[in-house]
């Protein structure tokens, strides 16, 4: 349980199963029907049953958003067709010309949105700094006077950990909105709003869904966020038409029911595999193993303090040539060589050429995202099978 969570509320798994999804009163169906309707009959002028057009509100989407808000400890949550759609909509809440301070270790798609798109379309002044470096962060806030602080923890793909309480404190002092991308963790792994963060965003495609069968994004807004931000996001969601389809809402709501048990199992397996890889790094031809649950991680103590579990992602730096890296990526049996993470099936990918290809070469080098870096997402397969698969791929491709 996070340090600020109320102790008198129902447990996480209970809420994930029941919040926002009551049995259908008409038929008694345990799972209510999916509402595909686009329009709703009005009872009179200004009189309705709460709906008029499904872009503005949909019963299936509303139930999902209620559940997500509850799990994050938020005032409200909103769902979008993708994680980037959620990010783009949130940025619309800022006036043109606003100053944004962003973590320098971000998913490539968000980096592109912040570095290339918004400075042109909205004249946003975007600067990047290492949010895990307190001194650099404090100075950057003084220098740039940001309206918004945007960061990931754990970060993608180097798994840096950002101090949630510190960013919340600095953001409040600066009068800035604080935004945490918690995709790598989910509310089953950490709850940034409990630590004072104003907004949590997710690519719901990843941990929240966990089945590689839908695109989605989430914005969850704290009751302590400034300037009626939740109302503004709701307005923008409708005004921009950036809404998740009813079918995808139903699929995502289904997935939330198993989120906690998936998160726990994936984290336990990831920790065991990371320890094994680190202990045998020399034999396996690994230069380093990165995982917040390892004592060797430079921010392990912070991760242990603010995370409920350490997540499903391990990054490893491979010794040897790019050819060796490619052979490893293509010789696993149970790890599919594919982007994304958090799914029930294990995945392995190459950030340098895939998720972070858009990031400039000098910045990738500075962050340690080299051609030898591999990112591994642990699924729900048996740990022994996953371990044997990784070991054989590494050992059989030593040369």
Q: How many CB atoms sit inside 10 A of residue 220's CB?
A: 33
Active site (annotated) includes residue 111: no
Pick the range with the lowest mean pLDDT from 56-70, 103-117, 160-174, 360-374. 360-374
Pick the range with the lowest mean pLDDT from 201-205, 208-212, 272-276, 356-360. 356-360
What's the angle, vertex CA 291, arms to CA 289 and CA 294, rounded to 5?
Answer: 90
The residues, ordered by sequence, that sit 6+ positions from 8 with a Cβ below 8 Å of its Cβ are none
User: 166-189: string of b/e by CB count within 10 Å (b at 16+)?
Assistant: bbbebbeebebbbbbbbbbbbbbb
Token code pair at residue 158:
């180097």
Across the chain, mean pLDDT equals 95
Whole-angstrom distance, CA of residue 107 vs CA of residue 264: 24
Statement: residue 2 has pLDDT above 70: no
Residues 373 and 343 in one domain: yes
Q: Which one is catalytic: 160, 191, 206, 364? A: 206
Residues 242 and 278 in one domain: no
Domain stop point among 254, 282, 303: 254
Residues 316 and 185 in one domain: no
Give the confidence band of 1 by pLDDT, cuts at 50, 70, 90: very low
pTM value surpassing 0.85 = yes
Statement: residue 3 has pLDDT above 50: no
Residues 166 and 235 in one domain: yes
What pLDDT does residue 8 have? Answer: 53
Domain stop point among 212, 228, 254: 254
Residues 248 and 268 in one domain: no
Residues 328 and 393 in one domain: yes
Domain stop point among 194, 225, 254: 254
In a domain, 1, yes or no: no
Residues 132 and 271 in one domain: no
Give the confidence band of 363 by pLDDT, cuts at 50, 70, 90: confident
Residues 95 and 178 in one domain: yes
In a domain, 4, yes or no: no
In a domain, 5, yes or no: no
Statement: residue 4 has pLDDT above 70: no
3-state secondary structure the chain: CCCCCCCCCCCHHHHHHHCCCCCCCCCCCCCCCCCCCCECCCCECCECCCCCECCCCCHHHHHHHHHHHHHHCCCEEEEECCHHHHHHHHHCCCCCCCEEEEECCCCHHHHHHHHHHHHHHCCCEEEEECCCCHHHHHHHHHHHCCCEEEEECCCCCCCCCCCHHHHHHHHHHHCCEEEEECCCCCCCCCCHHHHCCCEEEEECCCCCCCCCCCCCEEEEECCCCCCCHHHHHHHHHHHHCCCCCHHHHHHHHHHHCCHHHHHHHHHHHHHHHHHHHHHCHHHHCEEEEECCCCCCCCCHHHHHHHCCCCCCEEEEEECCCHHHHHHHHCCCCCCEECCCCCCCCCEEECCCCCCCCCCCHHHHHHHCCCCCEEEEECCCCCHHHHHHHHHHHHHCCCC
Per-residue pLDDT reduced to its tens digit, 113-160: 999 999 999 999 999 999 999 999 999 999 999 999 999 999 999 999
HSE-CB for 318 with a 13 A CA cutoff: 28
Residues 264 and 167 in one domain: no
The domain spanning residue 358 has which CATH number?
3.90.1150.10
Task: Please name which of 1, 365, 73, 70 lies closest in space to residue 224, comparing C-alpha atoms.
Answer: 73
In a domain, 3, yes or no: no
R_g (Cα) of the chain, nearest Å: 21
Residues 103 and 209 in one domain: yes
In a domain, 171, yes or no: yes
Active site (annotated) includes residue 35: no
Per-residue pLDDT reduced to its tens digit, 370-387: 999 999 999 999 999 999
CB 336 within 8 A of CB 329: no
Active site (annotated) includes residue 206: yes
Residues 39 and 159 in one domain: yes
What pLDDT does residue 358 have? Answer: 87
Provide the number of structural domains found in the chain. 2
Give the confidence band of 399 by pLDDT, cuts at 50, 70, 90: low
Arithmetic mean of pLDDT, 257-265: 98
In a domain, 6, yes or no: no
Q: Which one is catalytic: 107, 195, 291, 352? A: 107
Q: Which one is catalytic: 70, 130, 181, 194? A: 181
Q: Which domain holds residue 378?
A: 259-397
Residues 79 and 213 in one domain: yes
The domain spanning residue 140 has which CATH number?
3.40.640.10
Per-residue pLDDT reduced to its tens digit, 150-191: 999 999 999 999 999 999 999 999 999 999 999 999 999 999
What pLDDT does residue 355 have? Answer: 87
Statement: residue 30 has pLDDT above 60: yes
In the block, tokens 């389809």 appear at 245
Statement: residue 318 has pLDDT above 50: yes
Q: How many CB atoms sit inside 10 A of residue 399's CB?
A: 9
Whole-angstrom distance, CA of residue 374 vs CA of residue 154: 16
Active site (annotated) includes residue 195: no
């Amino acid at each position: 349980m996070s340090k600020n969570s109320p102790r008198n509320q129902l447990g996480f798994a209970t809420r994930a199963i029941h919040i926002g999804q009551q049995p259908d009163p008409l038929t008694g169906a345990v799972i209510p029907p999916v509402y595909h309707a686009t329009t709703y009959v009005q009872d009179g002028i200004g009189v309705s049953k709460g709906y008029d057009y499904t872009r503005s509100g949909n019963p299936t989407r509303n139930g999902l958003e209620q559940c997500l808000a509850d799990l994050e400890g938020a005032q409200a949550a909103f769902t979008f067709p993708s994680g980037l759609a959620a990010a783009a909509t949130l940025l619309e809440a800022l006036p043109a010309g606003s100053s944004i301070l962003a973590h320098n270790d971000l998913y490539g798609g968000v980096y592109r949105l912040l570095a290339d798109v918004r400075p042109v379309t909205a004249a946003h002044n975007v600067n990047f700094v290492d949010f895990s470096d307190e001194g650099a962060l404090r100075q950057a806030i003084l220098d740039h006077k940001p309206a918004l602080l945007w960061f990931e923890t754990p970060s993608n793909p180097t798994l840096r950990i950002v101090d949630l309480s510190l960013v919340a404190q600095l953001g409040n002092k600066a009068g800035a909105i604080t935004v945490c991308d918690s995709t790598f963790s989910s509310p089953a792994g950490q709850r940034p709003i409990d630590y004072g963060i104003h907004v949590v965003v997710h690519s719901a495609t990843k941990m929240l869904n966990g089945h590689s069968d839908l695109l989605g994004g989430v914005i969850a807004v704290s009751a302590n966020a400034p300037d009626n931000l939740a109302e503004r996001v709701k307005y923008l969601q409708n005004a921009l038409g950036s809404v998740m389809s009813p079918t995808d809402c139903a699929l995502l709501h289904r997935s939330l029911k198993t989120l906690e048990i998936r998160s726990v199992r994936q984290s336990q397996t990831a920790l065991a595999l990371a320890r094994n890889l680190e202990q045998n790094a020399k034999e396996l031809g690994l230069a380093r193993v990165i995982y917040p649950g390892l004592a060797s991680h430079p921010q392990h103590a912070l991760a242990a303090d603010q995370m409920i579990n350490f997540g499903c992602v391990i990054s490893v730096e491979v010794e040897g040539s790019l050819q060796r890296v490619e052979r490893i990526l293509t010789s696993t049996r149970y790890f599919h060589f594919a982007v994304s993470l958090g799914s029930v099936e294990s995945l392995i990918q190459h950030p340098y050429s895939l998720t972070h290809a858009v990031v400039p070469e000098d910045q990738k080098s500075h962050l340690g995202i080299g051609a030898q870096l591999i990112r591994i997402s642990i699924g729900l397969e048996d740990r022994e099978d996953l371990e044997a698969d990784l070991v054989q791929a590494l050992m059989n491709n030593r040369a």
